Amino acid sequence: MTSFREPCTRSACFGRCVGIRRHSSAMEHRRWEISLFLLLHVQSLLVSAWPPRCDTRIRGHCSPILEEKPKCTDIQLSYCEDMAYSQTLFPNILGHSTRQEAESGVEYLLLSVVESLLGGECQPEIRMLGCSVLAPRCEKDKVVKPCRSTCEALQKRCVHAFEAIEMAWPYFLDCDRFFVGEEEGCYDPIKDVKAQSDGDYDYFLLDVPPVEPALKIKFTYHTNAQMNSILKKTQQECADIAKTYSIGRSMEGRELLVIEFSNNPGQHELLEPEMKFVANIHGDEAVGRQLLIYLAQHLCSEYRLGNERVRTLINTTRIHILPSINPDGFEFALSGQNDRSGGDEDNDEGHRYISSNVGRNNAQNIDLNRNFPDLTSIVYSRRRQKAYRTDHVPIPDHYWFGKVAPETYAVMKWIRSLPFVLSANFHGGDLVVSYPYDRSKHPLDVNLLSPTPDDKVFKFLAKTYASTHESMYTGNTPCGSAHTHSQRGTVNGAQWSSNAGGMQDFNYLHTNCFEVTMELGCDKFPPEDDLFISWHENQEAMLSFIEAAHRGIKGIVKDVEGNGIKGAKITVRGIRHNIAATDQGEYWRLLTPGTHIVTATALGYTRATKMVQIPPTMHSAGRVDFVLEKVAMEPLQLQEEEEEAAAYNRFDPNNQYERYILMADISSAGEERVEKPWWWSYFVLPGVPSPTWLLKTH
């Protein structure tokens, strides 16, 4: 008979139920103790099997950790694979621990593009010198450092190339820091290059600076870096008569570099006329740019050789040469022409550059020779007024609200800052000298003869150049449309091709400067083989044009105490165009041979008039001084004169251009940035500190 245990309840066998539960809890606790014991025992066995812990406080208790020593490895940096050795070692001299770290640095990036930056100058030596630091020579698992003497010689020879693009000598080519002397067992990383150069390196290893290489004319096209380098080397060779200076930068940051020649460079001398040559305002018109580079070298070398004519020109004239107003356009044109040529320099025709409009405009796609203030239209609109003027016409305020290119702005400030008397502007595409006006007086802007009040002077200046050019004067030009209106290689600009906003009209109507335009040939970008011919055809014409700055008369307008009168006006009867005296009261007035009635006037002074006779055989300016006495001024007249002067002096009155530049130079963080060279953005890498060591001003 099966019996069933009654369930525990508060009313029945309460004590028995409690006893059963207590027995069950004791059994569970026992099992837990056994499990814990087994777990601790297993852990103790595992711990006893581990090696003893290293205690660095007990000598000999810890075994030394052996680090793997660096070993020589094959060079895997592609721009360093042509070194005379095949193995290198990491960490390198700069501390890069791996090839990947060296390859991702700005230093290696610089070596990869340095040939293009320097226009091929000092190559491959600079690259190989850098490779000797980034991928140093390794022998028997040790680094062999490059020689300090090699570094110093190369720096002496090539530092100017970096200066030409406003780049500092790279820090990793610091000759004292990363290079050693011969006594320390160094090696020459460019030894093989020297051996292959047939002695070209001998001259820079001497203490005597090189002379001939800087002055030797190479009839090839030069990049902007090469051009600036040549100008700065020319300055170094002729430091007593030459000086380079910048008038600003292009849209892409390239320097607008000028070289001047004078017996006192950098200073204006009393009564010494100043003249300028400018070129390449259209980037694809390259001949004038090259001619001005050659002219700078020619003036320097001939002066040193004692050429009497060149010495006289430099000693009596301050000559300014700006080879390129539009360096951005030229670079674009040069790359475009090279692409068209297919890189084949060994064909029967030589290195050919195909003419086109590629690169004509600046980097903003602005035609710079249409970007100057259109003062000619202002003159035309006022010509029926009794007292209208054609000199020192103010720039209208509305001009600044348009698109003013940085190159245009820089040239205008330059023209206003110096007392230029004469100017030549080199173009290409025809063979003729064009003179103002460039803008037609026809109401519909149809091509029409539109002479200036100084038409005789401009024709004389144009003829001076054309008649001494070897082929321009014949007028038998096989290209362009100028020949239909030209007379012996000269033509009125508006009659030939009317355009507004040109530079030569601006020079004449806004300042004292008389500018003409030289079209140097049918081909804007001819083969390099033709550059020597162009130089030969234009050399004498350029020198003759400099001499033309001394035509006419010059002098000083003074008060009775002998002080120069600033802003005094020089008027020639029959010519409705005045010349203004400088701060010292000096003036230059270009005139053709003949008899002229000349008057000097100034605000608050009497007027003085003289008759001047200029014989045809006189090739230097005649000295004509004026002395004016002070007089009382009518208040109304005084007010009108002051308002007129204030209007002329108002240059960008609302700072429109300045504000535009300022906004462009403000970073996203709101901090004003220092103006950087055109190449700067190429070396700024994401996540890497900016390489300020590349900047000369850092």
The string of pLDDT tens digits covering residues 529-558 is 999 999 999 999 999 999 999 999 999 999
Longest dimension (CA), the chain: 163
Confidence of residue 42 (pLDDT cuts 50, 70, 90): very low
Q: Which residues have C-beta within 8 Å of that of residue 326, sequence separation ≥ 6?
A: 250, 280, 281, 282, 283, 361, 362, 368, 407
39 pLDDT higher than 90: no
DSSP H helices, 118-189, are 125-134, 148-164, 175-178
Q: Do residues 105 and 96 lie in contact, with contact meaning Cβ atoms separated by under 8 Å?
A: yes
| Strand partners of residue 275 | 319, 422
Burial class from Cβ neighbours inside 10 Å (0-12, 13-18, 19+) for residue 647 reads middle
> What pLDDT sits at residue 246?
95
Q: Which two tokens stand for residue 681?
A: 């953005």
316 pLDDT higher than 80: yes
Confidence of residue 445 (pLDDT cuts 50, 70, 90): confident
Q: Which two tokens stand for residue 562?
A: 């002998």
Cα 409 to chain centroid distance, Å, stands at 15
- Region 434-457: what's the mean pLDDT? 94
> What pLDDT sits at residue 33?
62
Gap between the Cα atoms of 152 and 179, Å rounded: 10
Gap between the Cα atoms of 662 and 656, Å rounded: 10
Gap between the Cα atoms of 276 and 335, Å rounded: 28
Q: Do residues 597 and 611 lie in contact, with contact meaning Cβ atoms separated by under 8 Å?
A: yes
> What pLDDT sits at residue 337?
67
> What pLDDT sits at residue 609?
98
- Structure confidence by residue, pLDDT tens digits, 655-692: 877 665 555 454 333 333 446 777 887 788 777 788 88
310 pLDDT higher than 60: yes
Confidence of residue 474 (pLDDT cuts 50, 70, 90): confident
> What pLDDT sits at residue 68?
75
Query: Which of 302, 519, 547, 586 is labelled catalytic?
Result: 519
Q: Are strands 274-279 and 420-427 parallel, antiparallel or unpaired?
A: parallel
Best-predicted range by mean pLDDT (1-5, 45-49, 566-570, 655-659): 566-570
Buried b (16+ CB within 10 A) or exposed e, 74-113: ebebebbeebebebbbbebbbebeebeebbebbbbbbbee
> What pLDDT sits at residue 32?
58
Count of alpha carbons within 13 angstroms of residue 131, beta-carbon side: 27
* Greater pLDDT, 387 or 32: 387
> What pLDDT sits at residue 531?
94
Distances in Å between the alpha carbon of 230 and those of 81, 208, 216, 237? 31, 19, 10, 10
* Greater pLDDT, 64 or 674: 64
Gap between the Cα atoms of 443 and 437, Å rounded: 14
Asked if 519 is an active-site residue, the reply is yes
SS3 assignment, position 188? coil
344 pLDDT higher than 70: no
> What pLDDT sits at residue 685?
76
